[in-house]
Amino acid sequence: MKTLSPWRWNAVRGEYEAGPPPRPHGSGQISAVDAFRNCTMLLMGGTGFVGKVFLAMILDRFPELRHLIIQVRRKKNVSGEQRFFSDILNSPPVRPTVDRLGGLDALRQKATVWEGDLDEPLCGISAEVLAHWKGKIDVVVNLAGVVDFDPPVNESFETNVYGTQHLIDLVRLLDTRLVHVSTCYVAGKRNGKVPEDIEINGYFPRRDESPDEQFSVQKELEWYEQFVKETRESRHTNPRPVRERLREGGMNRADYWGWTNTYTYTKSMGEQMLAQTPGLSYCIVRPAIVESSMEFPFPGWNEGFTTSAPLVLMGGEGVKGWPVRKDGPLEVIPVDLVAQGILIVTAAMLSGKSKRVYHLASADENPIMLPRLVSFLGMNSRYKHKHKKEGNRLANAWKAYVETQVITVESLQARRSRLHRGLDIIHAALTLGKTILGAKKVDPYLKSLRDTRRQIRAQEITLDKFLPFMFHNSFIFETRNIREAAAMLTDEDLRRIRWNPESIDWADYWVNIHTKGIEKWIRPMFGSSKKPGTG
Amino acid sequence: MNKAAFYDLDGTLLSCNLVTMHAYYARNDRSLVKSVYQLSKVVLSVPLLFGLDLYSRSLFNVFSFRAYKGMHRDRLIGLADDLFEVTIKPSIFPQAKALIDCTRDLGYRNVLVTGTLDFTIRPIALHFGFDEIICNRLEFKNHIATGRVLTPLLAENEKARSIREYAAQEEIDLAQSCAFSDSSADVPMLSSVGHPVATNPTHRLRRIAMRNNWPILELREPSSTFPPFLRPAKAL
């Protein structure tokens, strides 16, 4: 469906402008086509949300790429190679590209699979393979990592910290360069514009409040080893589950230094390990919150459980009060723009024109303010509940017609207290009813109440996880470096890849692409152990 | 050379119009009080709009679009799917989809040429499977509708001009193309193609069609037959 019009939407100014969009023009100091033509690339973490889109995009946009080696983890009895050819290449975002390129057999000529794991020394790649490829790989692109916000601290450390050390060892042994994908949120709890040139080494977000303290990766590793040892040893004396205490320990440690969660704390440590390695040729790409694709591989592709998907799903379930900043943006960026950004940075690195850090974010050029998102969530809820066939009609009508509101955290807490008091009263009444009317009549209502409480608790936990990004802090990540790199590309490159978050029509994106993508790809999988898009 | 089937929307493929579409947005404002106020304004404006439509479709469009003044674009886009389900879908004529499928099967590019606004069109276009859309757009300042429509206002002669421009760009043979409309305001559009079809025509258009030997099609009636130039595909 194509709309023909002499007008184009200026998303930043919020008005239509006359004429077709300007043709992109680059200075030609970097040629991505030439850079990739002579390039053998090792891709780590090509099986995740960003990884699959990046994989499909480089195959689709740069068929000139000389060779692609992709590291894939073994899963139980399925080898890395089997996973790649049967699962990854058949997944919804990659399959259309594979078909366009001539099917799996054509890909076998182009790609080599290494079975490996970031958690193992030298990423689990055998010595023979490494000896064969030494000096022949031009760049390693690392997209692997544990992206859960608050996993048990050992899970995060093993991949995001020790895994980075394994990666560094691998890159040095192969004598190559590294494009390492991290996150904008390594900035931690802070407000305002976050520049790209903050010193990486020794960084911790509370540095300005505690100038006498020093952050050291080595000391954190010592703390970690000690903490995990003590937690495991106290298994028999402490009644709380070890996993829960490991989770809490990571979050508390992150909070102490000023990071929002274990994920951002460990990713920052990974960056600091790169910065501390003498002679390492690397650059760091930091995407913000990665969301559904705008166009590639098709509009609305999403499989990210740590994106805004939980919020969109909660909104669809009829949550009305949203604690967000009235004057703050949500730093989201579509996954296909992230993939293009990583390609631009990789081309810059291969051409010797890269900088140290690249933020991939939208608010610097085209912010989407949080109250607008709350309004979108409300309209999605209205649509869903107005046309819902099942459930209580009164509840559906309430969820359809009562508008969403922007509230404060204090107001949120008051609402929660009222809600839980109300549920307690209902519970007490049902318990009394059980003694009078008997268990047979009342038990179904008690079970329903338990389910409702569980659902409400799950929503509260999800919302709390996002508060640092919606309420407590307001971030705008500067994106000068990626804009400069994109401006150095050739016109031919710019026909294939762009960095253009300023063109995102947020209303169209959020309503017609992102929300529908989440409903299609994420909702069926939510609560299921199977992740979407894995065939 | 390619050929295309140009479709008007309101009255041709469905019975609702610009006023009913705006009435939906009016009664779905952010609060009950605002909804009642907005809906009252729409109801009061109906006699004026009815008169204007008889006099000039362009003037009718200009006045009906003024009612959007002050509305946020996010809301107009965000409620478009609901508008489609509640107001538009039930008003689609029984034979409309079959006609569009028929022209597609015969190799026509289906193009919607309508005075309706862009944000309401998306679900309609997806439902019918239109390839291309030419429609009106509201003017916005900082995401808020000013109540004015962007030029050129798509109505009457402007529809015909748009079709000719589109045909030139896309190498469409207008003599081999067809057009469907219900209104005499679209006579210039119908006259631009080799196969004009008066579809659910008004009295005035019916008279013009009979004078010019244009086929007349009633999409409201499930038993109506398509014009001869479309029948081979239907038979298939």
Residue-wise pLDDT tens digits, B21-38:
889 998 888 888 888 888
- Give the pairing of strands A475-477 and A357-360: unpaired
Residue B235 has pLDDT above 80, yes or no: no
Q: Is A121 in contact with A158 (CB distance < 8 Å)?
A: no
Chain B CB contacts of A383 under 8 Å are 79, 81-82, 85
Strands laid side by side in the A177-181 sheet: A111-115, A67-72, A40-44, A139-142, A177-181, A282-287, A357-360
Residue A531 has pLDDT above 70, yes or no: no
Question: What are residue A67's DSSP bridge partners?
Answer: A40
Q: Does B203 touch chain A (CB under 8 A)?
A: no
* Angle in degrees, CA B175, B181, B185, rounded to 5: 100
Q: Residue B150: pLDDT band by 50, 70, 90 thresholds?
A: very high
| Rg (chain A; Cα; Å) | 25
CA-wise closest residue to A534 among A82, A60, A71: A82
Q: How far is A4 from chain B (nearest CA, A)?
A: 5
Is the dihedral angle over the CA atoms B75, B80, B86, B88 positive or is it negative?
positive
- B143/A14 Cβ within 8 A: yes
Structural domains of chain B ordered from first start: 3-235 (3.40.50.1000)
Rounded distance, CA A212 to CA A153, Å? 26
Q: What is the per-residue pLDDT for B198?
A: 97
Q: Which of A351-365, B60-74, B190-204 has the lowest mean pLDDT?
A: B60-74
CB nearest A2 (choices: B82, B132, B139): B132
| Rg (chain B; Cα; Å) | 18
CB nearest A16 (choices: B78, B85, B150): B150
Rounded distance, CA B172 to CA B6, Å? 11
Average pLDDT value for residue range B103-128: 94
Residue A365 has pLDDT above 60, yes or no: yes
Q: Residue A529: pLDDT band by 50, 70, 90 thresholds?
A: very low
Residue A24 has pLDDT above 80, yes or no: yes
Q: What is the per-residue pLDDT for B187?
A: 96
**A477-509: pLDDT as tens digits:** 999 999 999 999 999 999 999 999 999 999 999
Q: Is A44 in contact with A144 (CB distance < 8 Å)?
A: yes
Q: DSSP for A269-324?
A: HHHHHHHTSTT--EEEEEE-EEE--SSSSSTT----TTSSHHHHHHHHTT--EEE-
CB nearest B77 (choices: A14, A382, A507): A507
Question: What are residue A414's DSSP bridge partners?
Answer: none
Q: How far is B203 from chain A (nearest CA, A)?
A: 32
Q: What is the per-residue pLDDT for A282?
A: 98
Q: How many helices (H) and strands (E) does chain A have?
A: 21, 16
Model confidence pTM above 0.80: yes
Q: DSSP for B129-155?
A: T-SEEEEE-EEEETTEEEEEEPSSP-S
Structural domains of chain A ordered from first start: 23-288+331-364+478-504 (3.40.50.720), 308-328+369-474+506-535 (no CATH)
CA-wise closest residue to A514 among A290, A329, A348: A290
